[in-house]
Amino acid sequence: MTRRPRLLSVAALVALQAPAFIAAAQMMRYDGQQVVRIPDASARLITQLDAAGLDIWTHRPTPGLPLDVRVTPQQKAALDAEGIAYEIMIEDVQAAVDAERGDGQNIAGDWFSDYRSTAEVSAYIDQLVALRPDIASRIELGDSLQGRDISGIRISGPGNDKPAFLINGCQHAREWVAVMTPMYIADQLIRQYQVDPEITSLVNRVEFFIVPIVNPDGYEYSRTSDRFWRKNRRGGYGVDLNRNWSVGWGGSGSSGNQNSEIYRGTAPFSEPETQRLRDFIDANPNIDAHIDFHSYSQLILQPWSYTETLPPDHAEFNALGSDMADAIHDVHNEVYEHGPGGRILYIASGTAPDWSYGERDAIGFTIELRDTGQYGFVLPRSQIVPTGEENLAGVLVMAEHIAPDIFMTVEADALFWGQVSDVRTFNAPPGEEVFFYWTRFGEGSTFIPGLGVTLGLDSPVLGGSEIADASGLATFSVRPPNRRGALVIWIQSAVAGDTSNVLVTQIN
Ligand code: 0X9
Ligand code: ZN
């Protein structure tokens, strides 16, 4: 028996390409199509499939890692004829699309029970701002190619000069859960502010910028015409926005062919959408962290994407990636692998996070959201909230990383009943008024509206305030009142926007 060479004829595949049938409603249909997973696709086969215009859903040329591709019955027969082994991931693509859309009506009630249009996302941003105008405002990055607004939301508690965190979604049109996840994060940062102590503290310490839809033209096209559209709408063929950034632009894992799903465009930043996001990052040089959300595969991709070479900060990124994966796993037991994108996924040149890291020295990660291929891009609506919940946990870990908690420390001399002793606060902002609190009760959480901070104390008593000196030291005189009550007291100091550690000390 002779073994056929595993080389697919590009001509055969192109000839077999069946133009998708356009229904009366102008929504493309995928009757008879399937998504198959080729377990060990070679880099060469992937290039051939891409050149033949096949719709590669996720590509992993590393031996042993799977490649998912959407095929017509004819294309599947061509794979069979070439002896290429595969497993069927989605039996009936049209049925999956129909199930995702339900009866075409939005489910009433919770906003996160269904995928939302650009207009609905925009209106919800306004609703969130209206809930908390003290910490939230709308941001506008400018227009897309077809003149749609690229909008977002800024969320931060009182105070200035904070590290900023940019979270964006939907460079790729068909990755719908990558719109809903940034929106879920925005929703929770606002609704849990002054409710959840960790979120309160992080919103006080970090300036969050959330831009859910970088590619509104492609997203609307995916919603109304072709569910599996990926790129922007340049010339009808489209440019892959995540191949249009300047770091590594033109390298491998991108294509100069307009019909390729990874077409890089004519030059770095040839597209208005990438220009808008780049200009926004340039206008906010305090951006220290950036997550670019995509789907699917459940991956936390650290730099670099354009090369397998490890970045100078690899150890830091790897530790952070691991902590994020753990935090995500703790929520719903979902596994997200982490590692450098160019190593654990595939080389992709001209991506957004490589630019934020390479050109702006921010921590630039890509997160591939749910799932691992059962539904792929057509993730059931019931998974929107769980995906948001687990990724909020990952985002909080990255936020902690750029804004380490507690820059102030509080110390006390030995305290005696009825006797004056000193309490000192270090590392306070020079010239700022520092407030000193104490309580007799164990750790809890109490929000102090005037300062915008959450203390780790139950029923705190304001003990006094001092102006920090040039070295950041503030000294308070304390006299524990009487001998009754607790033998220990809890002490904490605070300035606008931040607090010290909680000191638990005994009264002698
Ligand atoms: O190819 C992309 O742009 C991203 N994957 S997706 O399936 N959502 O299109 C991943 C880019 C991140 N980096 C690397 N692949 N190295
Ligand atoms: Zn993507």
Question: Positive or negative CA dihedral for 454, 456, 458, 462?
Answer: negative
Distance CA 69, CA 311 (A): 31
What ligand has the least distance to the C-alpha of 305? 1
- pLDDT, residue 14, reads 54
Atom number, ligand 1, closest to the C-alpha of residue 242: 3
Mean pLDDT of the chain: 90
- For the Cβ of 58 lying below 6 angstroms from any atom of ligand 1, the answer is yes
On the CB side of 388, how many CA atoms lie within 13 Å of its CA?
24
Task: Using alpha carbons, select from 152, 134, 480, 184 the residue that is nearest to residue 287.
Answer: 152
- pLDDT, residue 433, reads 95
- Percent above pLDDT 70 for the chain: 91
Give the tens place of pLDDT for each residue, 433-473.
999 999 988 777 898 988 888 898 989 999 999 999 988 89
* Spatial CB neighbours of 285, under 8 Å, sequence gap ≥ 6: 360
Split at pLDDT 50, 70, 90, the class of 154 is very high
DSSP assignment letter at 159: -
Of 495 and 17, the one with more pLDDT: 495
**R_g over Cα of the chain:** 27
| Residues noted as catalytic | 368
**Bridge-based pairing state of the strands 421-426 and 67-71:** unpaired
- pLDDT, residue 58, reads 79
What ligand has the least distance to the C-alpha of 366? 1
Q: Which 3-state string (H, E, C) describes 301-358?
A: EECCCCCCCCCCCHHHHHHHHHHHHHHHHHHHCCCCEEEEHHHHCCCCCCCHHHHHHH
Q: 389 near 331, Cβ under 8 Å?
A: yes
- pLDDT, residue 406, reads 58
Instruction: Say if residue 103's pLDDT is above 90.
Output: no
| Average pLDDT for 73-100 | 92
Of 35 and 24, the one with more pLDDT: 35
- pLDDT, residue 297, reads 94
Residues with CB under 5 A from ligand 2 (ion): 172, 175, 294
Query: Is cis: bond before 296, omega within 30 of 0?
Result: yes
> Across the chain, which distance is largest between two alpha carbons, in Å?
98
Distance 232 CA to ligand 2 centre (A): 12
Distance CA 178, CA 297 (A): 12
DSSP assignment letter at 452: T
Strand order in the sheet with 287-295: 136-143, 149-155, 207-211, 164-169, 287-295, 363-369, 299-302, 337-340
383 by Cβ neighbours in 10 Å (0-12 / 13-18 / 19+) ranks as middle
Give the tens place of pLDDT for each residue, 121-139.
999 999 999 999 999 999 9
Distance CA 101, CA 381 (A): 9
- For the Cβ of 346 lying below 6 angstroms from any atom of ligand 1, the answer is yes
- For the Cβ of 264 lying below 6 angstroms from any atom of ligand 1, the answer is no
- pLDDT, residue 4, reads 43
Distance CA 287, CA 207 (A): 8
Instruction: Say if residue 108's pLDDT is above 90.
Output: no
Split at pLDDT 50, 70, 90, the class of 76 is very high
Distance CA 369, CA 189 (A): 19
Q: 434 near 469, Cβ under 8 Å?
A: no
Split at pLDDT 50, 70, 90, the class of 244 is very high
- For the Cβ of 298 lying below 6 angstroms from any atom of ligand 1, the answer is no
Distance 347 CA to ligand 2 centre (A): 13
Cα 29 to chain centroid, rounded: 31
Atom number, ligand 1, closest to the C-alpha of residue 366: 12
Instruction: Say if residue 197's pLDDT is above 60.
Output: yes
| Average pLDDT for 159-164 | 84
> Distance of CA 137 to CAs 149, 155, 422, Å?
16, 7, 42
Amino acid making up residue 411: E
What ligand has the least distance to the C-alpha of 171? 2
Q: 125 near 150, Cβ under 8 Å?
A: no
Distance 188 CA to ligand 2 centre (A): 24
- pLDDT, residue 65, reads 64
Split at pLDDT 50, 70, 90, the class of 359 is very high
Split at pLDDT 50, 70, 90, the class of 428 is confident
Whose structure tokens read 């309580």? 439
Instruction: Say if residue 486's pLDDT is above 90.
Output: no
- pLDDT, residue 104, reads 59
Of 175 and 25, the one with more pLDDT: 175
**Which residue intervals of 379-497 are DSSP H helices?**
384-402
- pLDDT, residue 497, reads 78
Split at pLDDT 50, 70, 90, the class of 196 is confident
- For the Cβ of 213 lying below 6 angstroms from any atom of ligand 1, the answer is no
Split at pLDDT 50, 70, 90, the class of 73 is very high
Distance 453 CA to ligand 2 centre (A): 37
- For the Cβ of 351 lying below 6 angstroms from any atom of ligand 1, the answer is yes
Q: Lowest mean pLDDT: which of 277-281, 395-399, 427-431?
A: 427-431
| Average pLDDT for 105-133 | 91
- pLDDT, residue 356, reads 98
Distance 109 CA to ligand 1 centre (A): 33
